[in-house]
A and B are shown apart, each in its own frame.
Chain A
Amino acid sequence: MRHLFNLLLRIRRRPVQVLSFLVMNSYFTQNVTKGLPCLGFNCYACPAAAFACPIGSLQHFAVIREIPFYVLGVLGLFGALWGRAACGWLCPFGLLQELMYKVPLPKWHLSTRLGWLRYAFLVALVFAIPYFTLEPWFCKLCPQGTLEAGIPQILLHPELRPLIGWLFALKIVILLAFLVWMAVTSRPFCRWVCPLGAIWSPFNPLSAVRIEVDSETCIACDRCQQVCPVNIRIHENADAAECVRCLECVRVCPVDCIHIFLRHD
């Protein structure tokens, strides 16, 4: 297993993220794979989407008032194996945020103190409000949905254009606000908003694959925090709920004190 982890550390993350985006939107497999929730934030209303958005599916189950065993099981299976790793390696919206953060603008570093907000979004917009209003309200506001589905569907179907109203305008404003925020703050959607991240966050301290920091070797140089896309100090809490398991900290640690390990190692 140690060899496998060493191999993983040699794999570059960006090509994996791009490949994941392409697979999630591979179009031709739609008929076979669209009943499977994807491991990332990818709108199923995108014309090319090949998988179901787990958050959209959860809202649908809330609307039809049925416990979403299947979707939660698929998400739980991955979470139990590797915590929030899908956020760091597979999520197309995570990729977009990382690319936007490369835009040369002054950066705005925020603490993750209000990280609990994403749990509030999960409970309110994904479960409670859809359950009572019978409408998937997270989808109606989702910036990824606007980018991957709203705009492409309007471009592909001119007959829909006369039907555009205030909700579409609101979605565009939300998307633009997030794009600007992404350019100045690293992964803001993951840290404060993402309900999918909120589902996977509690798995970080419980998952089979985990990160550990050897506190005796650590020199607290904060190099890990500098490269961390969610700005956490992994040497203070290796199980932080915000950690997206991207393993950048493991790669850059100058004294090699951060390790990934399987629980039974």
Chain B
Amino acid sequence: MSRRPWLRSGTLLLLALTAIVLGLLRDQWMITLINATLLCLSCIGIQ
């Protein structure tokens, strides 16, 4: 057992939060929203 057992999960949490902020700054929330809203016909098997 590590002397600072929270270090790895703490670092991961920080990294995840940084990634979210970075993604939001690059408008990835909007890209995700638009992609999720538009129906991709080929994805549901319609050619």
A-side residues, CB < 8 A to B, are 30, 34-37, 44-45, 49, 51-53, 56-57, 60-61, 64, 66, 68-77, 79-81, 135-136, 139-140, 145-146, 149-150, 153, 160, 163-172, 203, 206-208, 263-264
Are A44 and B36 neighbours in the complex by a CB distance under 8 Å?
A: yes
Residues of B in contact (CB 8 Å), total 36
Given contacts A77-B20, A264-B5, contact A150 B45 (CB under 8 A): yes
Q: Which residues of B contact A (CB under 8 A)?
A: 5-6, 8-10, 12-13, 15-24, 26, 28-33, 35-37, 39-47
> In the complex, which residues of chain B have a beta carbon less than 8 angstroms from the beta carbon of A164?
45-46
Given A72-B19, A80-B16, A206-B29 contact (CB < 8 Å): no
10 smallest CB-CB distances across A and B, nearest first, come from A70-B23, A73-B19, A35-B33, A168-B45, A76-B16, A73-B20, A69-B23, A52-B36, A70-B28, A80-B12
Beta-carbon contact of A69 and B26 below 8 Å: yes
Specify which of A30, A135, A208 is in contact with B6 (CB 8 Å cutoff).
A208
Which residues of chain A are within 8 angstroms of B10 by Cβ–Cβ distance? 208
Give bound CA distance, A153 to B45, whole Å.
10
**Shortest distance between the CB of B18 and any CB in chain A (Å):** 7
User: B36 and A56: CB pair below 8 A?
Assistant: yes
